[in-house]
């Protein structure tokens, strides 16, 4: 998998080869990024704005 780019600082972000959409990655810059699949089916990153604690069941 090619390196993805951090939408916050523009730096490269390494994600696991088996990363799935919805997975969270913490970047060196401190941003929490969410892996998602873009319109072309490729994995991309976006800032994670949700609050995990609010996902409660
Ligand atoms: Zn970053």
- Reported as a single tens digit per residue, the pLDDT across 1-57 is 567 999 999 999 988 888 899 999 999 999 999 999 999 988 999 999 876 565 555
Domain count of the fold of the chain:
1
Distance 35 CA to ligand 1 centre (A): 13
Q: Could you tell me if residue 39 is inside a domain?
A: yes
Distance from the alpha carbon of residue 56 to the mean position of ligand 1, in angstroms? 27
pLDDT score for 35: 94
- The pLDDT assigned to 34 comes to 95
Confidence (pLDDT) at 17: 82
pLDDT at residue 16, as a whole number: 85
21 closest CA partner among 41, 7, 51, 5: 41
The residue ranges of DSSP E strands in 1-57, in sequence order, are 4-5, 12-13, 24-26, 32-37, 43-47
| Residue 57 domain-assigned (yes or no) | no
- Output the CA 54–ligand 1 centroid distance in Å: 24
Helix ranges, 1-57 (H): none
- d(CA 40, CA 57) in angstroms, rounded, equals 32
Domain that holds residue 26: 4-49
Strand partners, 49: none
| Residue 46 confidence (pLDDT) | 95
Ligand 1 centroid distance, CA of 57 (Å): 30
């Amino acid at each position: 998998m090619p390196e993805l780019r951090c939408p916050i600082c523009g730096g490269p972000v390494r994600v696991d080869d088996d990363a799935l959409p919805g997975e969270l990655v913490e970047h060196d810059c401190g941003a929490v990024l969410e892996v998602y699949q873009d319109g072309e089916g490729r994995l991309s990153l976006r800032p994670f704005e949700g609050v995990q604690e609010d996902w409660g069941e």
